[in-house]
Chains A and B, each alone.
Chain A
Amino acid sequence: LRRFLAGGAWACGLLGWWRPERWLTSSSLFPLSCVHTSASLEKFGKWEKKNWIVYPPQLPGEPRRPAEIYHCRREIKYSKDKMWYLAKLIKGMSIDQALAQLEFNDKKGAKVIKEVLLEAQEMAVRNHNVEFKSNLHIAESLTGRGRYVKRIRYHAKGMFGIMKISRCHYFVKLVEGPPPPPEPPRTGFDQAKEYVQQLRSRTLVNTL
């Protein structure tokens, strides 16, 4: 058992560069251990690492960079194709609207995604300096394939099939600010205009 740092205060001071999220997300018994071991801490995927990037301070004239919060949940017991429909539903909505839609949806993944969004909102207010928790919108929401396990499914007359138990990951990126206006659907007129534009922008190659 490792007991490197017993106290809380001076440990925080020493490991000022250490992110407190790691302590919360790690499954180890001793949240103050400073050594990276695969036994005590989980493996961090790319999405979790996106929260650790630190930008240099902005110059006075620059427009304010909106806060971005990346959150995910791994190995959800649900199919990635079925989860995709929910992810597509809430893409581009404000967080309040997304939570409302998910609350009255009957799918199993809706409950999971609602928890993820509430966690991410909490993280945004606590760690990422977001002023209003309603001022967030969902910029990206994706699903990924988790680890599948193969199991035997017993049929009649001694027959069997091999079924796969599927799991999925869910990723969400919240951005501060009101949701962007939805882009108008592409009409035939737009397509025709683009075609004419393409024809007009043709030039002659290898000539004067």
Chain B
Amino acid sequence: ALLGVFLPLPRLRGLLQRCWGRLERGLFPGFTGGQSPPWGPALAVQAPTFLPEPISDSRENDEAPSLFDSILWMAAPKKRRTIEVNRCRRRNVNKLIKVKRNIDICPECGNLKQKHVLCGYCYAKVKAETRLIRIEIGKKEGGPFNAPTVETVVLYDGEKPTEKDEGKRIIERARKRPSWFVQN
């Protein structure tokens, strides 16, 4: 029984050594000839800590031809791309900016707007007014977490709360009602 176990061991050891060597080379391709590490940028200058190691040469000389044949070797351009070829690629029709045909004018303010998007000017206008209303609300509440459990109604100059606004919180704004803010 013991003989049967020992015989395959030398072959296993050789196989394991070869596998380990291939794994090491797979992790650090390009270190064989003592060349610079491949992950530095082309123009970069190496720091003194990365000088080539001449010791590794004799150890891995017999492995070098197999590395050159392997597919792990880096791809590099063969020839310089001429400016004509570069222009053909950069000025191809699919790279040019397409003309937009979904631009209209907003019927409210007359500025340009995209068909599926709100008008930028009108939105900014509403946003500014909302900000002022929120400041008023902030003044009334006085601090965080004081929001009441009732609805809020915004009233402008010269407006009285109606019977519909019985239990609601009233926010006063000291200006004329804007035309786009319709009163219920």
Contact = CB atoms under 8 A, between A and B. Distances in A.
What size tier do the contact residues of chain A reach?
10 to 19
Interface stretch (B11-19, B93-101, B128-136): B93-101
Contacts of A160: 44-45
B112 A159 contact: no
Q: Is the interface of B mostly helix, strand, loop or mixed?
A: loop
Contact of B112 (A85, A89, A100, A162): A100
A161 B103 contact: no
Nearest to B42: A161
A157 B49 CA distance: 9
B23 to A, nearest CB: 23
Interface in A145-185: 155, 157-162
Interface string A94-105: 000001110111
Interface string A53-97: 000000000000000000000000000010001101100000000
What size tier do the contact residues of chain B reach?
10 to 19
A89 B96 contact: yes
B97 A85 contact: yes
B45 A159 contact: yes
Contacts of B100: 100-101, 104-105
Q: Is the interface of A mostly helix, strand, loop or mixed?
A: helix
Nearest to B37: A157
B90 A100 contact: no
Given A81-B90, A159-B41, A89 B97 contact: yes
B47 interface: yes
A104 B103 contact: yes
Contact of A161 (B41, B95, B114): B41
Nearest to B50: A157
Interface string B45-61: 11101100000000000
Contacts of A104: 100, 103, 112, 114
A155 B97 CA distance: 34
Contacts of A162: 43
Contacts of A86: 97
A100 B45 CA distance: 48
Contacts of A157: 40, 47, 50
Interface in A92-121: 99-101, 103-105
A100 to B, nearest CB: 5
Contacts of A89: 96-97, 99
Interface in B91-138: 91, 95-97, 99-100, 103, 112, 114
Contacts of B112: 99-100, 103-104
9 contacts: A85-B97, A86-B97, A99-B112, A101-B103, A104-B112, A155-B40, A159-B41, A159-B47, A161-B41
Interface of B: 40-41, 43-47, 49-50, 90-91, 95-97, 99-100, 103, 112, 114
Cβ-closest 3 pairs across A and B: A158-B47, A159-B44, A89-B97
